Structure 1
Amino acid sequence: MIVVMKPNCSEAAIEHVLRFLEQEGFTGHLSRGVERTVIGVIGSVNVQNPPGKGMITPALGEALEAFPEVEGVFRVSKPYKLASREFHPDDTVVEVPVACVAGGTVHIGGPAVVMMAGPCTVENEKQLMTTAEAVRKAGAVILRGGAFKPSTSPYGFRGLGEEGLKLLAKASREFGMAVVTEVMTPADVPLVCEYADILQIGTRNMQNYMLLDEVGRVQKPVLLKRGMAATIEEWLLAAEYILSQGNRAVILCERGIRTFEKSTRNTMDLSAIPLVKQLSHLPIVADPSQGTGRRDLVAPMTLAAVAAGCDGLLIEVHPNPEVALKDGAQSLTTEQFAELMPRAEAVAQAIGRSFVTA
């Protein structure tokens, strides 16, 4: 249920409605728009509530409509509430501190497109520093790199762990870039928060609800990758777990889904980008490296994702993909990445956007 307050209503009136909701066993989530304030009403799942408390009923709507500064009360039809555009009509813009850009902050979900690039996995200091320097020079402002890496095979390289995080932090300091890296378990969240600016939830963990709850309790942006077999509704419900714990800085990532097609590693669902923008206020980025699994398809799918309206890109780059310990077949060389950036910028300009590069 959403409560739409009248234009220019007072803070006292908003607090009055919030106190009423709390007394009735509900949680009210504020969304302040340009003209109106909307309060999203979430029912309680506490089984110890007295009968009738925390349950959304027609009587609750009638009670809320009786408040003098309430303009209207509406039921939300989507199973995801906080992630829906009904709850939050305006686009969410996630702010990330980035030293290398003017003003020291990058806005994901704003008018500009944000490039995140780097190796799939941190292998050693030389590999990371070489890649970070190259992608920063080409225009990337956020460094991607895995310190903890899930692998389909238990014998695959699984990352350097905390040593990898330390190397990412060193690259961040040297080149002024923010860091996005994956966290795999609830117990690792505090450690990864020490080094990362954005916490990535990988495709295999999209429905790891304990992990989603944990990253929802911290004040760090979260990049939530779509599960490899997840519907859009399931993906947005996973985001709902994070939002419901109080963390509103959620970024969605389309990284391809598993289909019967064998020519590509995954089938990159570009239609998800404009569709999610209709359904949700959350920003969405695209990962054409994981989305295709093929180096020769990364560039065209990058351009297509920008044209489709993505707010950012997540691209794997390696100085020598042929000897990469993980995912070399889908990693661009540093030269290929440098060639791609001006082409992506040209597409962004064609649709009235630009890239944040400095």
Structure 2
Amino acid sequence: MIIVMQKQASPESVTRVVAFIRSKGLQGHVSRGEERTIIGAVGDERVFHPNELESLPGVERAIRVLNEWRIISRESQADNTVITVRGASFGGGKRLDIVAADVGRQDADVVFADPFYMPARPYAVTEHSNEKNHIRAMQAVVADAHERGKPVMVRIRDVRQIESALASEADVLYLGGELMSNRTLQDEVGRLNTPVVLCKDKHHRADEWLVAAEHIALRGNHHIILGEAGTLSFEPDHPYRLDVDAIVRVRKISHLPVIANITRLWHGDMPQEVLYRLAEAAGADGIVSSLAARPVMRLAD
């Protein structure tokens, strides 16, 4: 069960609700967001009715939620969450064009930086060979984008990179799918007040994706954006594909905004322009690409 507190609810009201939950033999998990507090009741909910909680001071509503993702579910919040960063709104109705920094697009809504990228091959040559160079490159990208009034989304690949990304004034932290099972990292970003993109791992289902996002929300950070960057395909030459089904599903059962990253999914049979339109059709609130120009949706499409 999820108990949503009123915006003006006092700390005493929260304590009273938690005490009531515990008196019934359940555990109470408090998640304090920027705007309001949400309490999760874990245990046998049949011992009381939601009306009993709603009669307590400071309680806005109590909802029974059967899924493991409770704070981020449509049951707890019917309206879409809107996360605004430097004038760019994720989930605000306008689809954001998020462009890789090395493309140099001036008309991008958001700049995407991946300064800590390391190739899978052990002997591959990288442009930035050490941590200091990674940080300098990131700082340069952020400074340039901010000068133009653009927010920057920075991909981090390790919990130790959070501090440098925030010190460089990154506006959004981006966690790739390989970090979806990293609870330590999720706990850390959950304690921040910085928007974070959590990508679905290529091996996991949408439900597991939402459970991972719930871990972040439980720590208090409700500025979560879901990211789809590819799932396994059956084509040996093209091992990953855009998971359109997952985008549609999570938009239906969660109030969080969703973006798609197509930068590593395109190939000869599926160019970025087509992938971009697929992500649009699925309802993605933003699309990360390396396209040299913003695609125009044609009526014939």
Q: Give the TM-score of the pair, scaled to structure 2.
A: 0.83
Question: 1: distance between equivalents of 2:58 and 2:144?
Answer: 52
Equivalent residue, structure 2, for 1:74: 63
Change (3 A) 1:28 1:264: same
Tell me what 2:74 maps to.
85
Unmatched 5+ residue regions in structure 1? 44-53, 98-104, 120-127, 317-331, 352-358
Question: Equivalents in 1 of 2:97, 2:53: separation in Å?
Answer: 44
Distance 1:202 1:294 in 2: 24
Per-residue deviation, 1:304? 1.8
* Conserved 8 A contact 2:260-2:279: yes
Aligned residue pairs, count: 288
**Residues 205-284 of structure 1 aligned to structure 2 (within 5 Å):** 205-284=179-258
**Unmatched tracts of structure 2, length 5 or more:** none
- More divergent stretch after superposition (146-155 vs 307-316): 146-155
Residue 67 of structure 1, CA deviation: 3.8
The one-letter code of the counterpart of 2:110 is I
Runs of 4+ that moved beyond 6 A: 30-33, 68-72
- CA 1:157–1:286 in 2, change beyond 3 Å: closer, same or farther? farther
Per-residue deviation, 1:109: 0.4
Contact 2:200–2:228 under 8 Å retained in 1 = yes
- Cα deviation 1:197-230 (Å, max 9, x = unaligned): 1101012111111111111111211111110111
Partner of 1:42: 40
Match of 1:19 in 2: 15
Q: Which has the higher helix share?
A: 1
Q: Map 1:74-223 onto structure 2 (within 5 A).
A: 74-97=63-86, 105-119=87-101, 128=102, 131-132=103-104, 135-136=105-106, 139-157=107-125, 159=128, 160-195=133-168, 196-223=170-197
Q: Match of 1:154, as an amino acid?
A: P
* Displacement of 1:184: 1.8
- 3-state SS in 1 of match to 2:145: helix
Give me the identity figure in percent.
27
Greater fraction of residues in strand: 2
What amino acid is the match of 2:238?
Answer: T
Relative to structure 2, which stretch is displaced further, 23-32 or 162-171? 23-32
Q: Which residue is equivalent to 2:276? A: 302
Aligned mates of 1:108, 1:71 — CA distance in 2:
26
- Cα 1:72–1:106 shift into 2, 3 Å: closer
CA distance in 1, matches of 2:268, 2:254: 30
Structure (1 or 2) with the larger CA radius of gyration: 1
Give the 3 Å change call, closer, same or farther, for CA 296–68 of structure 1 in structure 2: closer
Residue range with higher mean Cα deviation, 59-68 or 241-250: 59-68
Deviation at 1:232, TM superposition (A): 0.4
Matches of 2:197 and 2:31 in 1, distance apart? 21
TM-score by length of 1: 0.71
Deviation at 1:117, TM superposition (A): 0.3
